[in-house]
Amino acid sequence: MNELSPSPLLFTPMTIRGLTIRNRIAVSPMSQYSAVDAAPTDWHLVHLGKFAMGGAGIVFCEETSVSQRSRKTYDCPGIYTGEQARAWRRITDFIRGQGAAPAMQLGHAGRKVATRAPWDGFAPLSEEDARAGRAPWSGLAPSPIPFREGALMPKEMDADDIREVIRLHVEATKRTLDAGFEICEVHGAHGYIIQQFLSPATNRRNDGYGGDRQSRMRFGHELIEAVRAAWPQELPLFFRVSCVDGGGWGMDDTVVLAAELKARGVDVLDCSSGGIEGPLTLHLVPRVPGYHVPFAERIKRETGIPTMAVGLITDAQQAEGYLQAAQCDIVALAREMMWNPNWPVHAAAALGMAKPHELLPRPYAWWLQRREDVRALSMNAPTGT
């Protein structure tokens, strides 16, 4: 790993359009399956708020649905009503008040709807669930292919459906601004609706939205153009992509997509993988430290678009090394933040920054710095003979 510079890049502010983030650490979206009537609750306030208190530069909320029909589960959040947007505002106000940038991830699950939670295996809702008040529903998809055995057949989208899904993203984008978010990310990965159009495994259309790669990218292009037009020009737009998916989409395709998204106003590509064949992609990308970083590096090098990498980034020197080597521009952590919400502060200490406690809110920072000062005095005090 390269020798680290005296001033860690991890804690160097970064300006994207008109937004300056305080450091290069992002909290990656983490689905919690804890919404009530698709609105965030106190759980989300505490879950996300503690990451902002811990010193992260960007705090993403979880994938949030643009419509009721596009939710994965009954417990997923949405931003398709004014009430939901107001519920998010309480959370974004707190995140911003702690010095972090609140970030929205807009999602539409397409055919991957009406499931149970991951701890129940993402099983499709059944007659038993219906008797308990959780009836399954059918999703939308580029082609009528169920996402797994037992799931309802999705409706093949016609021209009106395509226009409506784009409109829903535009309306959700406007509510994202009303809700106080400063970054908007469109979820184009993990087997959701945009990736369903991109992948030849799920897109078997013979119209202008299917066939060759350029036609399969058309839906995503039109959606991004509409979202970019609705999102303020001074605020960043991110896009999450599955760089490889196992269904006939690979890195050569992603590099082409990244260049075209950049030309349409996307500012950062959030690099992930998998989803078309199911929730786990261990066979596609072995789970080694920084397993998405090589994807982010190639995309950044070949297209010039800034990238964000996630995947077993757990160590401060590791994260700093990726930035110093220009392999990505932002590092994102998820489960490591669950384990240690104050990871940014500990990383600052590990990288030798003076007064790392200053990343924390003053009621924490003052007391912790005082403890350090007392320790220093004790160590320097003369000893008796």
Question: Which residues form the catalytic set?
Answer: 192
Cα separation, 341 vs 99, in Å, equals 15
Cα separation, 178 vs 135, in Å, equals 32
Chain centroid, CA 229 distance in Å = 21
The set of residues, in sequence order, having a beta carbon less than 8 Å from that of 380 and lying 6+ positions away, is none
Which is it for strands 25-27 and 14-16: parallel, antiparallel or unpaired? unpaired
Please measure the distance between the N-terminal and C-terminal CA atoms of the chain and give it in whole angstroms.
47
Cα separation, 46 vs 34, in Å, equals 12
Residues present in the chain in total = 385
What SS3 state is found at 300? helix
Which is it for strands 19-21 and 14-16: parallel, antiparallel or unpaired? antiparallel
Cα separation, 117 vs 120, in Å, equals 5
What SS3 state is found at 26? strand
44 neighbors 32 (Cβ within 8 angstroms): yes
* C-alpha pair distances (Å), 19 with each of 93, 183, 213: 16, 9, 33
Q: Which helix (H) or strand (E) holds 16?
A: strand 14-16
Cα separation, 182 vs 101, in Å, equals 6
